Amino acid sequence: MTSAVRFSAGYARVRALKSRLWTALDRPLVLRAGVQPDGRPLSGDPANVFPELMRWYAIVMRMYPAGRVLVTWMVRIHEIENLKLLWRAALRGRPPLRTCWRPLDPMATIDFEPRTSDPGELVHRLARTPYGAIARTLLRSHPADLPAAEIGLDRWAWTGLHDAALQLPPRDAAARRLALLLILEHDLDLLRRGTSFGLEADLVAKSTVALSRTCRIPALSAAASWQPADGPLARVLPASLLRLAPAAADWDDVLRGARRARLSACRRAFVEWPFQLAPAIALLLLRDAQARAAVSLSAARGAHPEAHAALSVALAASELEI
């Protein structure tokens, strides 16, 4: 069976789903009126954002069996946020907040429980899930250190995605590049916010997934410890990152450049050879970006200054930029 035959049905479905993404023509409706193109009010509530997103993930996983491992790890990037919510609640002796929970059915492997539990009980609940081993490790190494535990959970999930991308066959090099661009964004965001957790810059640098393998740790540490008073961020960025924003004044410039690079790669995936995994991964990345944009837009409409500052960064990888 040729690759074209194997991927043709999936590609037809992916193209049909892509036609439902927001585009530049929808900007006035979405940004100004707060209404989605289908007429529904714009909502950043996880209960409204994630069920449809997970249906798209389920469709891609069904139509592209060759991408099952990679797509599974992309789902875990979302589910690790639910685990961090449970971990924070357990350490603080409080019930988790339902309003912060991401409903990920039918892809979920952990369930929401509104009761209060301690860390040991939580780890026992996770024993038969994909997170059992990492939860036990973090309970032993960081039993009361929430920032270190959250970074540990993040690194575990993003390393799994990185390894899954590297294991893709040569024919799926474009899909691998898309996944690595997503991981690069995570690393950049970690460098931006890691020291705000009270962590040492060296630890933040070593916690990156892709950058720690390609850049010198002292250079990453210098970037992690940068402050606006130090002058333009471009002065301390590793040379390999300057291509994203050659004159970067701050981290927003760099992240905006990284997300636009991913958007450009997603566009290419839909105009190159169609019968491969890349269009499906591009679709999910664009749909993820749309979900983040919905959350940011909803927050921005509430007039929170920090939401307005993050809005252009969130939109940079969305089809609204086209």
Of 67-81, 213-227, 288-302, the poorest mean pLDDT is in 288-302
The pLDDT value recorded for residue 309 is: 55
Query: Which residues, 6 or more positions from 229, have their beta carbon under 8 angstroms from its beta carbon?
Result: none
Mean pLDDT to the nearest integer, 118-146: 93
Place of tokens 């249906």: 55
The pLDDT value recorded for residue 106 is: 93
Structure tokens at 113: 């429980």
Residue type (1 letter), 185 = E
DSSP bridge pairs for 41 = 35
**Does the pLDDT value for residue 304 go beyond 60?**
no
The pLDDT value recorded for residue 302 is: 61
Q: Dmax of the chain from CA atoms?
A: 60
The pLDDT value recorded for residue 322 is: 44
**Does the pLDDT value for residue 96 go beyond 50?**
yes
Place of tokens 């410039």: 253
User: pLDDT tens digits, residue range 220-250?
Assistant: 999 999 999 999 999 999 999 999 999 999 9
The pLDDT value recorded for residue 37 is: 80
DSSP E strands: which ranges in 35-172?
A: none
**Does the pLDDT value for residue 74 go beyond 90?**
yes
pLDDT band at 153 (very low <50, low <70, confident <90, very high): very high
Residues shown for the chain: 322
Q: Please check whether residue 283 is in contact with residue 274, taking contact to mean a CB–CB distance below 8 angstroms.
A: no
